[in-house]
Amino acid sequence: MEVKIKRILLFSALILYYLLTRLWGISGAMNEYFDYDEGTYLLIARFINHGILPYRDVIAVHPPFYYYLLALWMRIFGDSYVVGRSLSVVLGLAAVYVAYLTGRELRDWKLGALFATLIALDPVMVQMNSLAFHETSIELFTLLSLHSFVRYFKGGGLKQAYISLFWAGLGTTSKFTIIPYAVALYFAILFLEMRESRRHLEGVSRAFLSRKQVYILLGSYALLVSLFVSVVVLFPSDFLRGILIVPGVHGVETIGQLISVGVFLVLWSTLTVYAFRIRYMHPLLETCRELIGGLYPALKLALALIVPKLIVEVPLGLLVSRDYVRQTYLSQSARYAPIINPFEYMDFILKNLRNGKPDYLITRVPLLLLLFLLFLALARGKKPNAPIALKTLLVFSFISYFLVFPIVPIQRFLYPFFLVLYITVLYSLLEINVGRRTFAGFLIVSIIILGSAATGMAYSFPRGKLLIAWASHSRELRDDLGGYITSHSLRNGTYLSMNPFNAYYLHLPVNPRYLDVFGITYLERGNLLGKAFNSSNYVLISTWTYAMMEASPVFRERFGELISYCRQNCTLLFGGSYERGDVMELYTRTGFPKNVSFSPYFGKVRLWLGDRELGYLSIHNESSVLIKRTGSGEYLLRVKVKGKTLEFRAIQSSGGVEFLFPNATLVTLEFAEPAVVMKGSSLAGVGQGGTFRVYLARRSLEVDVKGTIERIGEKKVVVRCSSLGLRS
């Protein structure tokens, strides 16, 4: 009875911690850098509840299960982002329970408790379980599949294998990131069912999962480095230096660098075959014979995987639109090169350590912690072991995720693989005989480290305290914009919202087909972004847009063209920005061509000369700026200066813009490039006023100051004035 009470208290504490970390920011936390996907899924769910279907009316890039589950949930409990996020909280809690059942089934309640604790404290799921994302459904389906897989190889028979494949197949109807796991599961069961092949699996797992493999990997890297150094010294050239990189230590950035990846894989595989004295031809032939002779059982297993896909995707996808397969699967196929995944994953860790950004490694903490415990056991001469079936699934999952499928190596996309890895390592560690005190010590230290990372993700990340991108004023800007739209009766017409969450949160009318700007720009063929722009009355540009432009040349080009056109030819209705980069801009497509225009960015007034950035206008380095159109060509600007609010006006015309201040104000013009300030035919000086001409590289600007120049620098002009006119 006392043991039972301890277990109840343990699981009560775990559930309480889970709910606290997941519910902490569910209602208030908004992040323009991250909530794009949430907005897409929430809008699609809203559309479904109004008879507007994905694939037919909306370009959607994921299978239908999660869309319809979210739509049903919101139909029952209400249409809001809090309700949408609460679905993930519930699914995640169910996943923690299934993790416990899986561990208990595999070994005992201790493994179940450890596995459930690891899932509850995993920082990546602390984040995912609090958002309206597919990942929590993938977490649950993977664990349900793992539970049945464990029951299968523990003596449950083929029935449990079919159930395991069914859960994995159902997961593939939610998001494609579980497909590599499903394929790995299928082949693992298939090989385990073949007598001769099962005999060879022990040798394969021993070659991949052993202490000797650590030495082989280190030896492969040592040989690779010495080989590349010799080649470059013998044939010195920048071309070879650019191609001959060390995969994992350096990122793979060009096609030519795939040569280095290939050389490493050849060295590693050769050394593995040599070190383990692997004879692969005979086992390979035996396996092929068994596969050919066992086509019927293989087909039955495949049906268990395919049937749930047919049940869900035929009526909700294929029968809805003939374009379904291309939208959901074919468009994703060229998104990433799979063979570089393990090296990119390793490079990500090393790069952020080198750059002094450990914050970005928060989702890797469980992996690093388990690897430490595993390596410590190996260093002490222990031989951690796990069931052959589990090791087989782990090896096949690694091959699927890191070498075969084009999955971007982000932790949440690879999560099914890590669930298999976590339970395998935990089982292996528990099989090692250590004293109670030693075990308790490592357990306490591990929980402290992992709990700190999880709590930091739940508490510090939503407050914008980490280096991970966070737009602290997302909700504030959205509420300000919503008030402006309502007060100016701007709800008639169609919006092109570059971040769909803005449209969802503010209940803005959008063209359903073009709600996913990322999908239509990056994954779709043709100029669908241009069509989306032409079919809209308003364009809403925000933080996410600029973040994507910095991250990808594709978006820098295509989004840049759209934004440049808006600045020069459309009318800015509303703008807001804060010093950390949060930004919101609303344009109406009606307007006139402008030579000099302005917009908000990084808490300042950003100036444009045609389609090129001119610089910034700031007042005492203000921390925020809000711009509202009050009439034809007239604007009210509000900036915060040392905790106080200053308001001034701006008048936009085709020739330029004039800023009008309530009194003599110290204003800084900060140019994007070195500038020469002329007064007539001579250099301007401090104390002068009137009209000046600023000469920049290949362009010039006329500045009309009602006041005096206070200071002139290489890229700055500080004036004290009551009005400031800028004309090209």
pLDDT digits (tens, 9 = 90+) for 134-166: 999 999 999 999 999 999 999 888 999 999 999
Could you give the CA distance from residue 298 to residue 292 in angstroms, rounded to a whole number?
9
47's CB contacts (< 8 A; 6+ apart) are 53, 54, 57, 58, 512
Question: What are the residue ranges of helices labelled H in 31-177?
Answer: 36-48, 65-77, 81-106, 109-121, 123-128, 135-151, 158-171
When pLDDT is averaged across residues 602-609 and rounded to a whole number, the result is 92
Are 36 and 518 a contacting pair, CB within 8 Å? yes
Question: What are the residue ranges of helices labelled H in 152-208?
Answer: 158-171, 179-192, 195-208
The confidence score (pLDDT) of residue 466 equals 87
When pLDDT is averaged across residues 368-386 and rounded to a whole number, the result is 86
Side-chain-facing half-sphere of 185: CA atoms under 13 Å: 37
User: How many helices and strands in the chain, by DSSP H and E?
Assistant: 27, 16
Could you give the CA distance from residue 209 to residue 206 in angstroms, rounded to a whole number?
5
The confidence score (pLDDT) of residue 463 equals 82
Could you give the CA distance from residue 109 to residue 621 in angstroms, rounded to a whole number?
59
Could you give the CA distance from residue 616 to residue 628 in angstroms, rounded to a whole number?
18
Higher pLDDT, 202 or 557: 557
Could you give the CA distance from residue 150 to residue 140 in angstroms, rounded to a whole number?
15
Same domain, 314 and 435: yes
pLDDT in tens, 499-532: 999 999 999 999 999 999 998 888 776 788 999 9
Boundary residue ending a domain (431, 463, 495): 463
pLDDT band, very low/low/confident/very high, at 214 (cuts 50, 70, 90): confident
The confidence score (pLDDT) of residue 30 equals 92
Q: Domain for residue 617, yes or no?
A: no
pLDDT in tens, 445-459: 999 999 999 999 998
| 213: pLDDT strictly greater than 90 | no
The confidence score (pLDDT) of residue 160 equals 96
Q: Domain for residue 306, yes or no?
A: yes
Same domain, 389 and 477: no
The enclosing H or E element of 629 equals: strand 624-631
Same domain, 17 and 149: yes
The confidence score (pLDDT) of residue 191 equals 84
Q: How many CB atoms lie within 10 A of CB 437?
A: 8
Higher pLDDT, 613 or 381: 613
Are 183 and 400 a contacting pair, CB within 8 Å? yes
Same domain, 269 and 325: no
Same domain, 53 and 141: no
| 649: pLDDT strictly greater than 60 | yes
Could you give the CA distance from residue 376 to residue 366 in angstroms, rounded to a whole number?
15
Least reliable range by pLDDT among 182-186, 490-494, 538-542, 638-642: 638-642
| 285: pLDDT strictly greater than 80 | no
Q: Domain for residue 516, yes or no?
A: yes
* Spatial CA neighbour of 447 closest among 356, 369, 367, 394: 369
Structure tokens, 44: 């699609």
Boundary residue ending a domain (279, 309, 334): 279
Same domain, 547 and 509: yes
Higher pLDDT, 315 or 25: 315
Same domain, 141 and 264: no
Q: Domain for residue 109, yes or no?
A: yes
The DSSP result for 615-627, as a single string, is EEEESSS-SEEEE
SS3 631: strand
> Partners of 536 in the beta sheet?
none
Q: Domain for residue 724, yes or no?
A: no
pLDDT band, very low/low/confident/very high, at 567 (cuts 50, 70, 90): very high
Could you give the CA distance from residue 131 to residue 141 in angstroms, rounded to a whole number?
17
When pLDDT is averaged across residues 86-106 and rounded to a whole number, the result is 97
pTM over 0.75: yes
Rg (CA), the chain: 30
| 280: pLDDT strictly greater than 60 | no
Same domain, 385 and 338: yes
Q: Domain for residue 598, yes or no?
A: no
Angle, to 10 degrees, between the axis of helix 388-399 and the axis of helix 179-192?
140
When pLDDT is averaged across residues 546-551 and rounded to a whole number, the result is 92
Higher pLDDT, 527 or 46: 46
Same domain, 410 and 530: no
Boundary residue ending a domain (413, 438, 463): 463
Are 464 and 578 a contacting pair, CB within 8 Å? no
Plot region of 577 (φ>0 → left; ψ -120 to 50 → alpha; else → beta): beta
Whole-number average pLDDT of the chain: 90
Single-letter amino acid code for the residue at 479: D
| 90: pLDDT strictly greater than 60 | yes
pLDDT in tens, 379-431: 877 777 889 899 999 999 999 999 899 888 999 999 999 999 999 999 999 98
The confidence score (pLDDT) of residue 381 equals 77
Could you give the CA distance from residue 704 to residue 693 in angstroms, rounded to a whole number?
9
Could you give the CA distance from residue 682 to residue 685 in angstroms, rounded to a whole number?
9
Number of domains in the chain: 3
pLDDT band, very low/low/confident/very high, at 318 (cuts 50, 70, 90): very high
pLDDT in tens, 295-307: 778 888 999 999 9
Higher pLDDT, 523 or 716: 716
Quote the Cα angle for 523-57-71, to 5°.
95
Same domain, 535 and 498: yes
Q: Residues of 686-716 as b/e, b for ≥16 C-beta within 10 angstroms? A: eeebeebebebeeeebebbbbbebeebeeee
Could you give the CA distance from residue 197 to residue 45 in angstroms, rounded to a whole number?
46
Q: Domain for residue 75, yes or no?
A: yes
Same domain, 369 and 395: yes
pLDDT band, very low/low/confident/very high, at 82 (cuts 50, 70, 90): very high
* Spatial CA neighbour of 173 closest among 324, 341, 57: 324
Q: Domain for residue 341, yes or no?
A: yes
In this prediction, what percent of the chain has a pLDDT beyond 70?
95
Higher pLDDT, 655 or 104: 104
When pLDDT is averaged across residues 106-127 and rounded to a whole number, the result is 95
Higher pLDDT, 360 or 623: 360
Q: How would you classify the pairing of strands 604-609 and 656-671?
A: unpaired
When pLDDT is averaged across residues 578-586 and rounded to a whole number, the result is 92
| 613: pLDDT strictly greater than 80 | yes
Residue with tokens 């595993």: 374
Q: Residues of 40-53 as b/e, b for ≥16 C-beta within 10 angstroms? A: bbbbbbbbbeeebb
Same domain, 94 and 126: yes
The confidence score (pLDDT) of residue 289 equals 66
How close are the terminal C-alpha atoms of the chain, in Å? 84
153's CB contacts (< 8 A; 6+ apart) are 192, 387, 389, 390
The confidence score (pLDDT) of residue 293 equals 63
Are 240 and 231 a contacting pair, CB within 8 Å? yes
Side-chain-facing half-sphere of 511: CA atoms under 13 Å: 20
Enclosing domain of residue 497: 31-60+471-590
